[in-house]
A = this chain, B = another copy of it.
Amino acid sequence: MNKFVWLAAFLCTRLLSSAQNQTLVFQTDFGVKDGAVAAMKGVARSVSSELDMFDITHEISAFNIAEAAYRLNQAAPYWPAGTVFVSVVDPGVGSDRKAIVLKTKTGHYFISPDNGTLTLVAESMGIEAVRVIDPKLRKPGSDASYTFHGRDVFAYAAAHLASRKTPFEKVGPLLSTEMIKLPDLKASAANGVILGSIPVLDIQYGNVWTNIDASLLREHEIKPGTTVNVKITHDKDVVFEGKIPFVNTFADVKEGETLGYLNSLLQFSVAINQGNFAKSYQVSSGEGWRIQITKEQQR
């Protein structure tokens, strides 16, 4: 009978282990035209064949840390606790920038160069602890390679963490300082004018996404069903100015009409129904782009 007990224990262990969330999600600015992303996944697969691997995007603009931060925060909260994300947008590869692992209060893990990429997920999901990856936790034999830490360090360490071969507590010492963060660009309000920025476009459709939360609008009694004045500026130039309906969804206006709505992150956005607002008005995103919203006055 003892043999069966042993067997049962073995089987249960294996089944439970495979039932755990061994999920690894990649994001980079490498593109998918060459073999770089596949080399990362090969390294991870060599660490453990139990990992399930997915992608956010590999089309982050080269070296664009702010975009990396935004895309990570757009996708990560929808994944289950225990998921390990690895983001490699790494203009400082080979410098003394640190390689870190963030564990959030929600139980998600994020591996990245310490360069600001984790700013938004840290804000939205809360910091439980941050560790610096031990320099020894890298692909064996990769010491002569200085320029592809995505493959040699980040993918390797991420696979160790996701497969539980190296638990979070063992990846390296706690970070003794604060994580590097991007400058705070929160939306603000004064005298009834709500002022925000345009961190990214919803590029596929040409919709303009802002950092103005639904809650900030609600505080100023700007609700779906009303009309708002919108002004979009680039540095000192006014690029768009007009009254637009603030509605729940695209279908609330006719094809070709401009609308304001809450996007899938519940932030104020501007679009043309089945058109391309960004293209029509030459609106882009990032540094220098600002948006003002005021409530249309009832007469």
Contacts and interface: CB of A to CB of B under 8 A. Distances in A.
A93 interface: yes
Contacts of A146: 248-249, 261-262
A185 interface: no
B45 A32 contact: no
Interface stretch (A72-80, A186-194, A291-299): A72-80
A146 to B, nearest CB: 4
A31 B203 contact: yes
Nearest to A72: B35
Contact of A31 (B45, B151, B204, B252): B204
Contacts of A15: 11, 14
A19 B17 CA distance: 12
Interface stretch (A55-63, A163-171, A231-239): A55-63
Number of identical monomers bound together in the oligomeric complex = 3
Given A8-B4, A78-B39, A94 B250 contact: yes
A22 B30 CA distance: 27
Interface in A125-179: 144-148, 151-152
A264 B79 contact: no
A30 B71 CA distance: 14
A94 B251 contact: yes
A217 interface: no
A180 interface: no
A23 interface: yes
Given A7-B8, A94-B251, A251-B95, A205 B62 contact: yes
A72 to B, nearest CB: 7
Interface string A270-281: 000010000000
Contacts of A152: 264
Contacts of A21: 49
A4 B45 CA distance: 34
Nearest to A30: B204
Interface of A: 4, 7-8, 11-12, 14-15, 19, 21, 23, 25, 29-36, 38-43, 45-46, 49, 52-59, 62-63, 71-80, 83, 91-95, 144-148, 151-152, 200, 202-205, 214, 248-252, 261-264, 266, 274
29 contacts: A4-B4, A11-B11, A11-B12, A14-B15, A32-B58, A33-B59, A33-B203, A34-B74, A35-B57, A35-B71, A35-B72, A36-B264, A38-B56, A42-B75, A42-B77, A45-B79, A46-B78, A46-B80, A49-B52, A91-B250, A93-B250, A94-B251, A95-B249, A95-B250, A147-B249, A147-B250, A147-B261, A147-B263, A148-B263
